[in-house]
Structure 1
């Protein structure tokens, strides 16, 4: 794959010319399609294990986002310096899940409007679309979002690999390779939209294109993971250029 020339001057607009570029998209859920209360649930479930003020967005993105629940629990506690992290992690993961369900039932989840617009635009191009998240809560949240009368966001995707039991979590590419297989396409034909460095690393490991979504002032981490393009809003994704095999801002 031809990737961005990272030696270009910062004043130059980033351009990626994609030989044999993508014609399908794979979307992560939390932080890309939905503004969900996952981070809040992890923070509030600490229950005295560590100072909740130390559970920052940066820590969540680096240690938890994109990982299966049990792995995320352990990674978070290790990052917070909890001495008996491995012992405490299973109960922490259970408390987080209970708190998340409470927050979802209270309506603390919403679609991100620019993501819905991009999904609809790519759908209009006839692109096959997949959704891929390690979260076992993703599908329930997607079903709760109405895109148009009688149609949920869940129904906009032809392939869904959310909540699967996987041998390896991100940054391993397993979940994205499953999505590509479901789309019946080679990995190089897919572009992944992710907000976590681990997700970008997984896309790269799977030989896929990637767009990093820096909604949380975290573009540096996504660039460090070698996203092909980094945006702060999915309205910035140049849909027609993407269809023509070029990414630029």
Structure 2
């Protein structure tokens, strides 16, 4: 297995669980592109940068993301425009997926397969209502889709609080029946890293967009550019910063 391996000792991998954000961690989904294209009629789409997406939109619900983006772009009365922008974004996303499909990151598929073989309980946790449908389009092997790998799916639910509040990750931990302190969260957005740390979980930042510093500043315990950099036995021993040994 490229870049990481199964445990080198006999420690119990079921002592911890993994919780994955979906967009940007597991899937190379076209959310950022859809948000940008949907700005036609609201603002200049070229102003919607990757940095703005990561800082203001990633990890948030559709309506909250729309409101945050319009506010960051300085549009007047963003709250009144947010629903229309969010609907336009969903229309763009649907068209892109219908025409081009959805791709998973190869390192993510390798990592999920290895965790499955080692018996780690896993949850997918995303604010996106599109997450489960997109994962269902990706084959993990000949018999299963990527969605089938996750015992728990906390995707697109109506939550009281969005990231950086830890609610979504605490629900995932509860449904996995694993203490939050024994959960490892994989995130590509600073808001998601802050949510994991607020829930007293270990946070691993996935810096696929040359944004490692932002993830470290948010409190990630470790930052990698690929899940191939991680070894399962290392995860078994690590604890969140500040956690008791």
* TM-score after normalising by structure 2: 0.90
Q: CA RMSD in A?
A: 1.4
Aligned 8 A contact 1:22 1:188 in 2 = no
Residue in 2 aligned with 1:174? 167
Q: What are the equivalent positions in structure 2 for 1:170-249 lying under 5 Å apart?
A: 170-245=163-238
Query: 1 CA distance for matches of 2:239 and 2:169?
Result: 22
Given that residues 22 and 209 in structure 1 are in contact (C-alpha distance below 8 angstroms), is that contact kept between their aligned partners in structure 2? no
1:212-242 superposed Cα distances (whole Å, 9 cap, x missing partner): 0000000011000010000001101122221
Taking the aligned partners of 1:200 and 1:43, their CA distance within structure 2 comes to 24
Quick one: structure 1 residues 134 and 212, their matched pair in 2 at CA, closer, same or farther if it must change by over 3 Å?
same
Return the match for 2:50 from 57, 68, 72: 57
Pairing of 1:89-238 with structure 2 (within 5 A): 89-238=82-231
**Runs in 1 of length 4+ with deviation above 6 angstroms?**
none
Counterpart residue number, 2:9: none
TM-score scaled by length of structure 1: 0.88
Quote how far apart the aligned CAs of 1:32 are. 0.2
User: Which secondary structure state, in structure 1, belongs to the residue aligned with residue 159 of structure 2?
Assistant: coil
- Which is richer in strand? 1
Q: May I ask how many residue pairs the two structures share in their alignment?
A: 227
- Name the CA distance, whole Å, in 2 between partners of 1:32 and 1:147: 15
Deviation at 1:243, TM superposition (A): 2.3
